[in-house]
């Protein structure tokens, strides 16, 4: 019996990505091609690998018990091929290729750019492509294989449990700073800002979640007057005297002197945002991804 190793790898990709469409994006194949490979593998093995009765429509694709066992063999085959690639890099003593990272604007200047510069020095054959994207889009691209590393921010580390099949590398805790218009009195406590107009983020963003948490824990109103997604817009509104907000330290401009239009205040109630690098969970990361993660960890240590 001849079993195509390529089709075992395709079956494994379907199992780990959760469906034909995601596997197609990951492997850069048409969904119809994935389905054809699965059907051919079933003919080669004489086994039913896909539970077609309970799949389709909006339901996720499910593998039969036989499909899950063969997918596990495909996973071991993928690990062997990863070992081969690592040995090739070790023997050639030269790392080269392209790695794609998804990130948001507030970590570009002091985290992503330093990591890329470091990687250029240590592994000049590696090309890093940066894709600015929101978290949900970036994680979808990660699962689909279009991105290799995604930077995320968590209001609470427990949030990571909602991302099955992904692996997190903690980078740093980024403290929130309260930004107040310079024309306002410098607040001595959060109560001094309870009834002032606040600038929040859109629903689901870290800033909005933090403000909701503080409202619940303190009972303060903190009324929202504006909502901005980009921190540059937040700072512009604060400098214009239109409200108070919180901004993570990494999103603040690196300047030798404070900006004349605002005060930075440290209030412990707002805590920190947890920044992590997310990759697809695997026994051993490919060398390109490992090197990028190392560079991000180094950049994070320099920003802490």
Q: How far apart are CA 136 and CA 278, in angstroms?
A: 12
**Tokens representing residue 292 in the block:** 């990028």
Spatial CB neighbours of 304, under 8 Å, sequence gap ≥ 6: 172
Q: How far apart are CA 169 and CA 298, in angstroms?
A: 12
Confidence (pLDDT) at 285: 77
pLDDT band at 256 (very low <50, low <70, confident <90, very high): very low
Q: How many Å separate Cα 110 from the centre of its chain?
A: 17
Phi-psi group of 155: left, alpha or beta (phi > 0 → left; psi -120 to 50 → alpha; rest → beta): alpha
Confidence (pLDDT) at 255: 61
Name the strand (E) or helix (H) holding 247.
strand 245-248
- List, in sequence order, every residue forming a beta bridge with 227; answer none if it has no partner: 200
At 132 the three-state DSSP class reads strand
Confidence (pLDDT) at 155: 73
The domains located in the chain, with CATH, are: 5-89 (1.10.10.10), 94-172+274-303 (3.40.190.10), 174-270 (3.40.190.10)
Rounded to a whole number of angstroms, the distance between the first and last alpha carbons of the chain is 57
pLDDT digits 0-9 by tens, 191-213 = 999 999 999 998 888 889 899 99
Rg (CA), the chain: 24
Residue linked to tokens 């596990």:
72
Phi/psi of residue 170, nearest 5 degrees: -65, 135
Query: What pTM value is reported for the model?
Result: 0.72
Q: What percent of the chain has pLDDT over 70?
A: 91
Q: How far apart are CA 232 and CA 116, in angstroms?
A: 23
Q: How far apart are CA 213 and CA 231, in angstroms?
A: 20
pLDDT digits 0-9 by tens, 115-128 = 999 998 888 888 99
Nearest to 248 by CA among 292, 210, 192: 210
């Amino acid at each position: 019996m001849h079993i195509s190793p390529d089709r075992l790898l395709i079956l494994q990709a379907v199992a780990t990505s959760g469906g034909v469409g995601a596997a197609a994006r990951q492997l850069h194949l048409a969904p119809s091609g994935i389905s054809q490979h699965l059907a051919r593998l079933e003919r080669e093995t004489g086994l039913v690998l896909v539970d077609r009765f309970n799949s389709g429509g909006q339901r996720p694709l499910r593998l039969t018990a036989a499909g899950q066992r063969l997918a596990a063999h495909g996973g071991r085959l993928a690990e062997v091929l990863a070992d081969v690639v690592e040995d090739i890099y070790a023997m050639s003593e030269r790392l080269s290729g392209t790695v794609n990272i998804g990130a948001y604007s507030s970590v570009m200047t002091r985290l992503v750019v330093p990591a890329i510069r470091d990687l250029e020095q240590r592994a000049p054959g590696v090309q890093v492509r940066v894709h600015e994207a929101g978290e949900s889009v970036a994680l979808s691209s990660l699962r689909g294989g279009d991105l290799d590393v995604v930077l995320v921010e968590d209001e609470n580390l427990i949030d990571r449990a909602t991302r099955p099949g992904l692996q997190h590398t903690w980078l740093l805790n980024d403290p929130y700073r309260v930004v107040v218009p310079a024309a306002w009195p410098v607040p001595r406590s959060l109560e001094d800002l309870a009834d002032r107009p606040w600038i929040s983020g859109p629903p689901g963003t870290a800033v909005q979640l933090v403000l909701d948490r503080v409202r619940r824990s303190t009972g303060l109103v903190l009324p929202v007057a504006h909502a901005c997604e980009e921190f540059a817009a937040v700072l512009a509104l604060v400098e214009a005297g239109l409200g108070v907000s919180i901004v993570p330290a990494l999103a603040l401009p690196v300047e030798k002197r404070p900006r004349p239009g605002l005060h930075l205040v440290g209030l412990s109630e707002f805590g920190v945002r947890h920044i992590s690098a997310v990759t697809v969970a695997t026994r051993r990361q490919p060398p390109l991804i490992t090197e990028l993660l190392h560079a991000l960890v180094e950049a994070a240590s320099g920003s802490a």
